[in-house]
Amino acid sequence: MGLPKNITDRPILGVIQNKSLREHVLEMLRNAIVNGEMKPGQNLVEADLAAQLGVSRAPLREAINILNAEGLLETVPYHGTTVTKLARKDIEDLYSIRSLMEGFAVQRLIALGQAEAVAERLRNICADMMRAADEGNLREVNLIDRHFHDTLVASSQNELLVMLWGTVSLRVRQVMSLRNEKKGNLHEIARNHLAIVEAIAAADTDRSVRLVHHHIGSTGDLIAEGWEKDSDDSPNTGPLPSTADF
Amino acid sequence: MGLPKNITDRPILGVIQNKSLREHVLEMLRNAIVNGEMKPGQNLVEADLAAQLGVSRAPLREAINILNAEGLLETVPYHGTTVTKLARKDIEDLYSIRSLMEGFAVQRLIALGQAEAVAERLRNICADMMRAADEGNLREVNLIDRHFHDTLVASSQNELLVMLWGTVSLRVRQVMSLRNEKKGNLHEIARNHLAIVEAIAAADTDRSVRLVHHHIGSTGDLIAEGWEKDSDDSPNTGPLPSTADF
DNA sequence: CGATCTTCGACTGTCGACAGATCGCCTTCC
DNA sequence: GGAAGGCGATCTGTCGACAGTCGAAGATCG
């Protein structure tokens, strides 16, 4: 990772992406949702949206159906499609599952004898994260954080887990974008990750899993605390506990 | 569960199902896949299938997209859609995840103080299973088994888990229908389930989780053993180890 | 005879139009 | 004045047709 210092690192001509309209629309909608540009509860009118995107309703509907299956949208027949609401309970559920999955991934990767190799890759990611933290670049730290956890899950070499993680990961991104960003201590975040990496490097399954559970669990609690309790879709706007965020 | 002895248990008029064509098609395809009527690797031609089902390609395509998201179908652009193949590794991955999820559900339900209530419901299900086993009705035992595990997962009261379980559960059904059914000892199956129930009733988290992991793990191993090793889509047709199946 | 180019066919991707359903408004009747 | 029922606007669900793409069979040239 990290930004290439040299422009020649990149190919001259970008890859021409011949993706179908459905893929384009899917990506756009997904991004809009997980980036919080489309707010939970918001209604989608197919014709309007199709016109706005400059496509017909067919590929749009196909994209909507996929997002439905992923749980980011909810369609009630003949009535309409809305962005799925996020209640506090959903956050808690989400972070339990996330914790479960990442804990499992760590356990698997160690069992597979990949501890040292994976730790090496994660160390590099942490270094990138440290650099981004030095620059106070929250956005970049976020991105690298995602990369870290994606790498962790992928290292389990369990395809099904990776697939399910895709869904969970999107939800996490949505939650993170929805709550008011409080940058906390970026360096502390990086340190937290490094602790996990070292436990993995030591091939200490119990400690690794415990650290992962603790890391994710406390984050989830923190975010859930800042969420409107009674349900609905948005975090309250009051002061958030200011500490490491993810 | 169990068959109602009395016809008056059912409503006089069945619910009029106003489901959309997409829903109908979706259900049909999904069933065809998880029941093994559509074999892994099999190709789908949209026009043919649409004609066969008596619908246009639009709702069919929407259904296909959803099944793609669920991982039961795989579409490569401009080339076609096929039923996802199942290699031995996939079975192993599947059963690890299943074990993970059900174990988590058990742990959660006990933590929620639902142990006794859930155990009661599960006991009833086991009783039904026992009855079906007495009749040697493999199909019914299968159905009740599904109900048992669905109940277990639902008892976690974690909506996201339930949603993800939907995907996993479908895969499990597919695998079970694909391997040559060997009935094993139906009563032993029921007994295995009962052991789990009693551990739950005792609110013994560790033992419950261990039993669940063992139960599912050994089943997965068993099925994986009977699968063609080198990949591909089908179990070998040689003799299978004959013991409890799920 | 073999390799490359060209056509052809079959299938997927997309579109615009029509059919069906729901909800809110308005009328009508008590 | 209030409730039941009809009417219409609006949106979703479905359809048939067209355009784009890919692989394979055949044609062309060395």
Given the DSSP bridges, would you call strands A43-44 and A80-83 parallel, antiparallel or unpaired?
antiparallel
Q: Classify residue B201: in a domain, yes or no.
A: yes
Put simply, the answer to whether B93 touches A159 (Cβ < 8 Å) is: yes
Q: Classify residue B246: in a domain, yes or no.
A: no
Q: Name the closest residue on chain A to residue B62, using Cα atoms.
A: A62
From B40, B64, B83, give the residue that closes a domain: B83
SS3 A148: helix
Are residues A31 and A6 in contact, defined by beta-carbon separation less than 8 angstroms? no
Q: Are A77 and A195 within one domain?
A: no
pLDDT over threshold 70, residue A9: no
Q: Classify residue A241: in a domain, yes or no.
A: no
Are residues A227 and A236 in contact, defined by beta-carbon separation less than 8 angstroms? yes
Are residues A243 and A185 in contact, defined by beta-carbon separation less than 8 angstroms? yes
Q: Classify residue B187: in a domain, yes or no.
A: yes
Interatomic distance B80 CA / D25 C1' (Å): 20
User: Per-residue pLDDT averaged across A95-105, rounded?
Assistant: 98
What is the number of domains present in chain A? 2
**In the 8-state DSSP scheme, what is residue B180?**
P
Q: Are A75 and A121 within one domain?
A: no
pLDDT over threshold 80, residue B242: no
pLDDT over threshold 90, residue A238: no
Q: How many A/B residue pairs have CB atoms within 8 Å?
A: 74
Choose among A70, A96, A171: nearest Cβ to B69: A70
Is B16 an interface residue toward A (CB < 8 Å)? no
Measured CA to CA, the distance from residue A133 to residue B32 in angstroms comes to: 52
Put simply, the answer to whether B100 touches A96 (Cβ < 8 Å) is: no
Q: What is the mean pLDDT of chain A?
A: 87
Q: Classify residue B242: in a domain, yes or no.
A: no
CB under 7 Å from any atom of strand D: which residues?
A 18, 44-47, 57-58, 61, 75, 77-81; B 20-22, 55-59, 62, 78-79
- Identify all chain B residues contacting A100, using CB atoms and an 8 Å cutoff: 100-101, 104
CB atoms within 10 A of CB A11: 7
Task: For residue B233, name the pLDDT band (cuts at 50, 70, 90).
Answer: low
Closest-CA distance of chain A to residue B134, Å: 36
SS3 A67: helix
Put simply, the answer to whether A77 touches B158 (Cβ < 8 Å) is: no
Q: Classify residue B123: in a domain, yes or no.
A: yes
**In the 8-state DSSP scheme, what is residue B10?**
S
B196-229 pLDDT, tens per residue?
Answer: 999 999 999 999 999 999 999 988 888 888 787 6
Measured CA to CA, the distance from residue A208 to residue A206 in angstroms comes to: 5
Measured CA to CA, the distance from residue B147 to residue A69 in angstroms comes to: 22
Task: For residue B236, name the pLDDT band (cuts at 50, 70, 90).
Answer: low
Q: Containing domain of residue A194, as a range?
A: 88-225
Q: Name the closest residue on chain B to residue A20, using Cα atoms.
A: B77
The residue to which tokens 């992406």 are assigned: A17
SS3 B157: coil
CATH number of domain containing B37: 1.10.10.10
